[in-house]
Structure 1
Amino acid sequence: MKLLTPVGVYRLLFVICRYGINLMALLKLAAGSHRHRVALSDDHETLTYQQLLDQAECLAVQLREQYGLGSRSKAGLLCRNHASLVKSIFALSMTGADIYLMNAEMSSDQFAQLLDAHAFDFLIYDEELTAFIRQSTFKGASVLSYHENLPAISNMIHGPLSRSSRGQRNSNSKLMLLTGGTTGRAKEVAHKPSLFHYLPPFSSMLERLRLLQYKTVYIATPIYHGYGIAILLLFVALGKKSVVTSIFQAEHACRLVREHQAEVITVVPLMIDKMLRASNSGGDLKSLACIASGGAELNPRLAEEVSAKLGEVLYNLYGTSEAGLCIIASPQDLDAASGTIGKLIEGVGLKVLDGSMHEAAAGVIGQFCVKSGSTWIKTGDMGYRDEKGYFFLKGRADDMIVSAGENVYPSELEHILFQHPFIEYAAVVGVPDEQFGQRLKAVVQLKAGTELNAETLIEWLRPRVARYQMPREIVFVDRIAYTPLGKVDRKQLH
């Protein structure tokens, strides 16, 4: 970004003095260097960096003057991926308000819990969620993301800005990530803009994913997820073009990649799996040089298929809401160690700890824990590190079962089931068992045009799995349930 040159230092100090330390300052820096370059393209419009900056600044003034937003205000965003969401994030940061990015697929019960916990002052939401909002207990001020006549972000982004209306600089805004799926109780994680805190993961992404070489990213993952917002802010910092769309559909996603000649795409594994099947054997995806997969476990079979059709373009990323990006696997890492999530980013505090919170030896399964201050926080993810420094996931701590005294991880059986030539998708959960305490139950989705029964599959499994890994029950379904983030919906499986 050339911030350490004399001119770069001057620009940085000028922007901080003008805006404070917030996300708008990041956008101002990018617009200063890439004024006429395309910053954002969505289903509604295409914006240059100068246009995005002007509209976000105008919106910030409107939000401050019409709704009184400022430091200590709480603003919730319940939106899918689109330009109004992006403008709102930058504008709210300029007002000093805390920005709560909420899952647009959350349940009414989870939304009620958030309202009780946070007492939002302001809400921005998509029109299709109008009934959802009206049926809730929220009584504060709110606007739509888009509307022709009603108060909406799309109607608040134009107008002259006088010097006096711009307001004072602000460094109080925090970005609040709300994790916990679509039905469970959300966990709040705060992120305050900091130049130095995020340098190690961003530097590693630039180096290992070679992002400086590319011009366009298609952010297919939700921006309200930590993974999506991180990529958006990184590409804004680099002055690159970001492409977003409100709803992921494999055919449409392939068309966006082809039309924009996107070199980078952010996905969960299920997305790229569906895109491969909708892309004419990968033909629509030939421009992709970096597929950044994260948010869910990557199946080795899918990694091999991507490599065969598109070359060495697949990267596997692992991060947490608390620590951000922690581990990266390059295509070469995936070739060297099938199923790995990669090696630890330098400067990131993550260890595999046993039940006594001592570091586990190489090859020993424990829980991934991230360092926060002087303490280690459990992530809930189980896995191990091998002698070469490669990390491997074994699933969530609450997914593990104990069968006849053995610790059993459903993901191990899932990986084996994926090797069967007739199986499209497979998911495994633990179920109660009178004799062994717990056993595994496998839910299987077959490839189109194939036939398989439980008895035949059991015989195929016998030489491939240990006795305690053998499923007690196999259920064949037309379609396995996934969450909107592309993870297996284990609650529905149970």
Structure 2
Amino acid sequence: MRDDVVEASAVIGHPPGQVWQIVGAPELYPRFVPEISWCEVTQAAERGRGPRCLVRLAPDRDTFVEGTVHAAVYRPGEHVVWCGLPDERTWVSLELRPVPRGGTELILRMMLPSLPEEHSGLASRSSVKALLRALGTRIGQQLSGTPAEQPPPERTTSLRTANTLVRAGVLAAGRPDRMIRQLNSITQWGATVAGGYLAATARGPGDLAVHDERGSRTFGEIDERSNQLANALAALGVEAGSPVAIMCRNHAAMIETFVGTSKLGADLVLLNTGLSPAAVEEVLTEHPPAAVLADDEFAPIIAGVRGDFPRISTWDDAEAGYRTLDELIREAPATRPKPSSRPGRIVVLTSGTTGTPKGARRPTPKGISTSASILARIPLHARDRIAVAAPLFHSWGLAAMQIGMAVRAELALIRRFDAEDTLRTIAEHRCDALFAVPIMLQRILDLPERVRTRYDLSSLRIVASSGSAMPGAFVTAFMDTFGDVLYNFYGSTEVSWASIADPADLRAAPTTAGRCPPGTGIAVLDDEGHRVPPGDEGQIFVGNDMLFDGYTNGTTVSRADDLMATGDVGYQDAAGRLFVTGRADEMIVSGGENVFPRPVEEALAALPGVSDAAVVGVPDEEFGQRLAAYLVLHRGARMHAEDVRHHIHQRLARFAVPRDVYFVPELPRNATGKVVKRLLSDDLWPLPQY
């Protein structure tokens, strides 16, 4: 392509001052131009000087171009010219001219001589005119408050589901008798945990199903032992609908308990291993258990709970005095129970980062199409080996088990997370996938290179993360180190899943939550439940077949038609990617401005020397509220609070600069890795250091 200037213009029915609110804010460009996937201000505009930005162009799913640009011309309300660095021959000019009746002519000129031939069409006159028309329309809708046009969710059809399952190897030719037994298991037991494991057993009873640090189990062994466990629990008075509580780490006995209670139709209450004795007492008071199964390390907590119910040890390594699960299994018959007319439910506790956790009733999947929706975005295959570091009592660990069950995977269960031990597990078992929460991946990335390179991770195709936000700098560093294997799953205990970002999404826009899988729709709504204009933030609502059935205390969450609130605030960019900017209940009002901590935390995480960061709102006599930042530094790093404030001031608005900056040895986290922000200002938390 020869060097040439391409020009186009469009008229927007709003005055230049309003149009400049978008044209003069480069960080908003991805919300209005699909080809711009990422724009980060690295140096704010000052008197006589325009801003400098890091920009990524993603003209298609397979390509992105990254570069630094600066505003060589920056006349607010009139004109901005973006030039590439160091080659200023590449530039884009946006000029605003007033037109009659209060409108604006937006004139776009481009010179992009460095684009390769296959992308030269980006700078053709026809493509530039089309780009500008779309940009003008979106800007006009935004300034007029017109709701964004929402494409319909990608439909789940029988053919699409079948194609996904065939591609994953879930539906594949095999011995006719085994295939018939596999289908009969699903027909009899439904898409329950019992049905999934019985179907896998019918297909390959001798296939390895679970590894833990004490040994392994085949699908046939899990079937037999879960039959015995179900019969033993029935002899203790457990029946369909009875709550059975379990408090243990990842190991084979937990899988057997999932399957055994499912065969009985009992409800399984998953207790977070990080709960305090008082919280466990409160949860079990709300869900009076017919039995409690727990690892010996939690026996003192269970012993302190009032109630006459059997207490069973799932991991015996202490003299707790409780009968062990193995003892119960040895003494019980292996006869398989008949399918219950009432499928058992799994009750997952909310994370409890802002108070006492609540029990959320997880729905029974509608069928195999539920797994197909996830497999359409995360390309697991039949008989993959999956390392599960995320706790099974957490929604993400539970999802790993359920998805793994659908593909008859070998699960390598990691009982206590250690970064190096996790790499050793992946290497020894030649794992294809790792399911983890972000803080675990951060600990792995923090390992010295000499430690990471000891382990052969060439088998690892997928690293699936969920549970909390991942900073963009971390996402890019992780994929630069381990390859394009990272998948970011966004959802909640209440809505199951909303979107999934694959490696292409994360390369283009590292902080994105991705796109919806088939059969899922999202909407960004204002406080009145209306869709927001293009580029605006609002509350995220989700619709799919796995919305939860309500909290066990009788409460639920907000709904809008067939959609359910996630409790998060975010926006969609012009290409349809979802971004989460914070929790709705974390928004603070400082000097009349609405501020969310998440963008500030993202900027802090990119600061060299910062290992971890959290931002909260604190009372302020003058402004109502102000931001306080808590930072954990890498070993040997040195930093002053004023360095932090200057860094944020260069990237974000003035009201987003934290006035309080504390350096702390670590952040308080719960057992699933989420920062418990209420503890940052708690008197029990160690005093921060300036």
- After TM superposition, the score normalised by the length of structure 1 is 0.93
Q: Is the 8 A contact 1:144 1:151 kept in 2?
A: yes
Tell me the residue number matched to 1:144. Answer: 313
Please state how far the C-alpha of 1:103 moved relative to its aligned partner: 0.8
1:299 correspondence with 2:471: yes
Tell me the residue number matched to 2:224. Answer: 54
1:153–1:456: structure 2 CA closer, same or farther, 3 Å change rule? same
Q: How many residues align?
A: 489
Written as runs of structure 1 = structure 2, the 5 A alignment for 1:336-347 is 336-347=508-519
Tell me the residue number matched to 1:287. Answer: 459
Q: Is the 8 A contact 1:64 1:70 kept in 2?
A: yes
Tell me the residue number matched to 2:653. Answer: 466
SS in 1 for 2:449: coil
Tell me the residue number matched to 2:360. Answer: 189
For 2:435 and 2:324, the matched residues in 1 are separated by 28
| Residue in structure 1 matching 2:489, options 312, 317, 333 | 317
Indicate the structure (1 or 2) with the bigger Cα radius of gyration: 2
Q: Is the 8 A contact 1:482 1:489 kept in 2?
A: yes
Unaligned runs of 5+ in 1: none
SS in 2 for 1:208: coil
| Residue in structure 1 matching 2:635, options 444, 448, 460 | 448
Tell me the residue number matched to 1:225. Answer: 394
For 1:18 and 1:244, the matched residues in 2 are separated by 28
Q: Is the 8 A contact 1:254 1:278 kept in 2?
A: no
Tell me the residue number matched to 1:356. Answer: 528
Q: Which amino acid aligns with 2:352?
A: G
Q: Which amino acid aligns with 2:566?
A: T
SS in 1 for 2:274: coil
Q: Which amino acid aligns with 1:453?
A: H
For 2:193 and 2:327, the matched residues in 1 are separated by 22
Q: Which stretch has the larger CA shift, 179-188 or 327-336?
A: 179-188
For 2:403 and 2:238, the matched residues in 1 are separated by 26
1:475–1:12: structure 2 CA closer, same or farther, 3 Å change rule? same
Q: Which stretch has the larger CA shift, 452-461 or 433-442?
A: 452-461
1:51–1:45: structure 2 CA closer, same or farther, 3 Å change rule? same
Please state how far the C-alpha of 1:480 moved relative to its aligned partner: 2.2
Q: Percent identity?
A: 30
For 2:189 and 2:667, the matched residues in 1 are separated by 48
Written as runs of structure 1 = structure 2, the 5 A alignment for 1:10-25 is 10-12=180-182, 14-15=184-185, 19=189, 22-25=192-195
Q: Is the 8 A contact 1:101 1:224 kept in 2?
A: yes
Per-residue CA distance 1:274-331 (angstroms, 9 max, x = gap): 0122363642344321110110001111111111111101111111222212210011
Q: Which stretch has the larger CA shift, 343-352 or 70-79?
A: 343-352
Q: Is the 8 A contact 1:406 1:468 kept in 2?
A: yes
For 1:377 and 1:452, the matched residues in 2 are separated by 43
Please state how far the C-alpha of 1:77 moved relative to its aligned partner: 0.9
For 2:421 and 2:440, the matched residues in 1 are separated by 12
For 2:195 and 2:382, the matched residues in 1 are separated by 24
For 1:75 and 1:279, the matched residues in 2 are separated by 43
Please state how far the C-alpha of 1:232 moved relative to its aligned partner: 0.8
Q: Which amino acid aligns with 2:328?
A: M
For 1:387 and 1:118, the matched residues in 2 are separated by 46
SS in 2 for 1:212: coil
For 1:2 and 1:287, the matched residues in 2 are separated by 23
Unaligned runs of 5+ in 2: 1-169, 548-558, 682-690
| Residue in structure 1 matching 2:281, options 112, 126, 146 | 112
1:274–1:36: structure 2 CA closer, same or farther, 3 Å change rule? same
Q: Is the 8 A contact 2:383 2:407 kept in 1?
A: no
For 1:478 and 1:182, the matched residues in 2 are separated by 20
Written as runs of structure 1 = structure 2, the 5 A alignment for 1:96-111 is 96-111=265-280
Q: Which amino acid aligns with 1:32?
A: A
Q: Is the 8 A contact 1:382 1:394 kept in 2?
A: yes
Tell me the residue number matched to 1:84. Answer: 253
Per-residue CA distance 1:94-119 (angstroms, 9 max, x = gap): 11111111211112232222122221
Tell me the residue number matched to 1:369. Answer: 541
Tell me the residue number matched to 2:568. Answer: 381
Tell me the residue number matched to 2:55. Answer: none
| Residue in structure 2 matching 1:248, options 410, 417, 421 | 417
Per-residue CA distance 1:60-86 (angstroms, 9 max, x = gap): 111112x12111211111111111111
Q: Is the 8 A contact 1:106 1:181 kept in 2?
A: no
Higher relative contact order (CA 8 A, sep 6+): 2
For 2:611 and 2:187, the matched residues in 1 are separated by 55
Q: Is the 8 A contact 1:403 1:438 kept in 2?
A: yes
For 1:109 and 1:369, the matched residues in 2 are separated by 33
For 2:596 and 2:465, the matched residues in 1 are separated by 22
Please state how far the C-alpha of 1:184 moved relative to its aligned partner: 2.3
Q: Is the 8 A contact 1:59 1:88 kept in 2?
A: yes
Q: Is the 8 A contact 1:107 1:183 kept in 2?
A: no
For 1:337 and 1:83, the matched residues in 2 are separated by 38
Please state how far the C-alpha of 1:12 moved relative to its aligned partner: 4.7
For 1:417 and 1:167, the matched residues in 2 are separated by 55
SS in 2 for 1:50: helix
1:12–1:32: structure 2 CA closer, same or farther, 3 Å change rule? closer
Q: Is the 8 A contact 1:20 1:170 kept in 2?
A: no
1:478 correspondence with 2:665: yes
SS in 1 for 2:329: coil
Tell me the residue number matched to 2:148. Answer: none
SS in 2 for 1:246: coil
| Residue in structure 2 matching 1:263, options 387, 408, 432 | 432
Please state how far the C-alpha of 1:41 moved relative to its aligned partner: 0.3
Q: Is the 8 A contact 1:19 1:168 kept in 2?
A: no
Q: Is the 8 A contact 1:292 1:317 kept in 2?
A: yes
1:296–1:369: structure 2 CA closer, same or farther, 3 Å change rule? same
SS in 2 for 1:394: strand
Q: Which stretch has the larger CA shift, 301-310 or 461-470?
A: 461-470
1:10–1:109: structure 2 CA closer, same or farther, 3 Å change rule? same
1:278–1:432: structure 2 CA closer, same or farther, 3 Å change rule? same
Q: Which amino acid aligns with 1:411?
A: R
For 1:21 and 1:315, the matched residues in 2 are separated by 25
Please state how far the C-alpha of 1:159 moved relative to its aligned partner: 5.9
Q: Is the 8 A contact 1:177 1:226 kept in 2?
A: yes
| Residue in structure 1 matching 2:498, options 298, 312, 326 | 326
Q: Is the 8 A contact 2:182 2:200 kept in 1?
A: no
Please state how far the C-alpha of 1:344 moved relative to its aligned partner: 1.3
For 2:637 and 2:336, the matched residues in 1 are separated by 64
1:311–1:3: structure 2 CA closer, same or farther, 3 Å change rule? closer
For 2:372 and 2:382, the matched residues in 1 are separated by 14
